[in-house]
Structure 1
């Protein structure tokens, strides 16, 4: 694990995946960029669902952020930055981008990189009745998982599930509470998870599943757990 943007760092180049890098752009957003188009499934604010992308934006917003249409707001930022509207996935967060946690690993016929940013000001426990709202609320844990390998569609959805479970486990081990009732939180009210897959055939295998007992799901779960844990744990540090 590392936090490459604490200090003067503005560029992180993946060691196990040439052609994938992450830039800290003007203190405004993190940009992960791939030299190839990746297949995606995500709960992203902009470009969410199933799609294809080679640009991934995690934008910093103030705690007071209260846009009626965050999708339109992100679209404007993406346009001004010159990123391709049809091939960009966009996220919002009030967390410190400098404290993004990055981890890489080589697994059973795949390589992966995970990056998480974490704010827990609106921590929440899923399954608890609470007031609901339609606008984006600042806070947010955003996790992006990049996988260089082949995954079936079911495995991509499984990776999304495993990543979410790992995030919840990290929050539980950090004793993060839902302020509504003091029980352990499972996330925040506005978290996003992105799974982006190269579908490269160079590993000569396609992963059919991605649960916690599969070789790929087990490693991805540990990567997400560790990156979320580090980003939450260090969020109040300089």
Structure 2
């Protein structure tokens, strides 16, 4: 676990050759050497898709676009990214404080990247005013898996991610200002799970719950990166 962009603008994976991150003026770019099968709730190219590039775009704290999907698509095109193989995310968090963690395990390599702004922290499961305006902020997490996973396991990975994120916020004692209870996330969190399908690995992961090797790794890295990114978000 580290925050490489607090000291530079480049990070190359230590375990997965060809995977790199770059910090530019208004975005973090995450690149894979091969096209990934992705599952996400991203604003651009969400759902099940294929992509080799993920762009986390920093927008102003007062961003109030009425069509964020179009804004993101237009901005990606302006930068020159191929829209059909690029996933676009929005954030108002400090990109310099992105937290990165990696792990090599049982028939997989895993890279996890989280940026965090929690001004709109919220607790799921309680009544709230869904029409009120929330201040900008989001927790964006990208999970890159070099290995083979079923679509069911990718969905399981999203569940494990959500559990680990909520656990990190609980340990940080981060409150939802509306309910004054511990937050489980923010109102705009995004997760991307990208899987290489690399046939060099003999096993196909059919599950990704916390009792599996890959699920345990996902939970650990999500917890660590969410904890670090949230804890340091107000530091210079």
Q: Which residue is equivalent to 2:20?
A: 21
Q: Which residue is equivalent to 2:227?
A: 229
In structure 1, C-alpha distance between the alignment counterparts of 2:223 and 2:16, rounded to whole Å: 21
In structure 2, C-alpha distance between the alignment counterparts of 1:49 and 1:179, rounded to whole Å: 30
In structure 2, C-alpha distance between the alignment counterparts of 1:201 and 1:30, rounded to whole Å: 29
Residue 167 of structure 2, aligned match among 156, 166, 169: 169
Q: Gapped runs of 5+ residues in structure 1?
A: none
Q: CA shift at 1:131, angstroms?
A: 1.9
Deviations along 1:154-192, one digit per CA (max 9) or x if unpaired, are 000001111111111100000001101211100000000
Alignment of 1:5 onto 2:5: yes
CA contact (8 A) 1:117 1:143 kept: yes
Q: Which residue is equivalent to 1:86?
A: 84
Q: Which residue is equivalent to 1:44?
A: 42
- Residue 37 of structure 1 aligns to a residue whose secondary structure is strand
Alignment of 1:155 onto 2:153: yes
Residue 109 of structure 2, aligned match among 111, 123, 144: 111
Task: Provide closer, same or farther for how the CA distance between residues 61 and 34 of structure 1 changes in structure 2, counting only shifts above 3 A.
Answer: same
TM-score (norm 2): 0.97
In structure 1, C-alpha distance between the alignment counterparts of 2:194 and 2:47, rounded to whole Å: 11
Q: Gapped runs of 5+ residues in structure 2?
A: none
Q: CA shift at 1:203, angstroms?
A: 1.5
- Residue 5 of structure 2 aligns to a residue whose secondary structure is coil
Deviations along 1:119-143, one digit per CA (max 9) or x if unpaired, are 1100000112112249996200000
Q: Alignment length, in residue pairs?
A: 236
- Residue 150 of structure 1 aligns to a residue whose secondary structure is coil
Q: Which residue is equivalent to 2:93?
A: 95
TM-score (norm 1): 0.97
Runs of at least 4 residues off by over 3 Å: 133-137
Residue 145 of structure 1, aligned match among 143, 154, 160: 143
Q: CA RMSD in A?
A: 1.3
In structure 1, C-alpha distance between the alignment counterparts of 2:121 and 2:134, rounded to whole Å: 14
- Residue 111 of structure 1 aligns to a residue whose secondary structure is strand
Deviations along 1:27-69, one digit per CA (max 9) or x if unpaired, are 2000001121000001111111100001101011111000000
CA contact (8 A) 1:70 1:136 kept: no
In structure 1, C-alpha distance between the alignment counterparts of 2:180 and 2:210, rounded to whole Å: 28
In structure 2, C-alpha distance between the alignment counterparts of 1:135 and 1:203, rounded to whole Å: 47
Residue 31 of structure 1, aligned match among 14, 29, 32: 29
In structure 2, C-alpha distance between the alignment counterparts of 1:28 and 1:17, rounded to whole Å: 25
Q: CA shift at 1:13, angstroms?
A: 0.7
CA contact (8 A) 2:119 2:135 kept: no
CA contact (8 A) 1:167 1:225 kept: yes
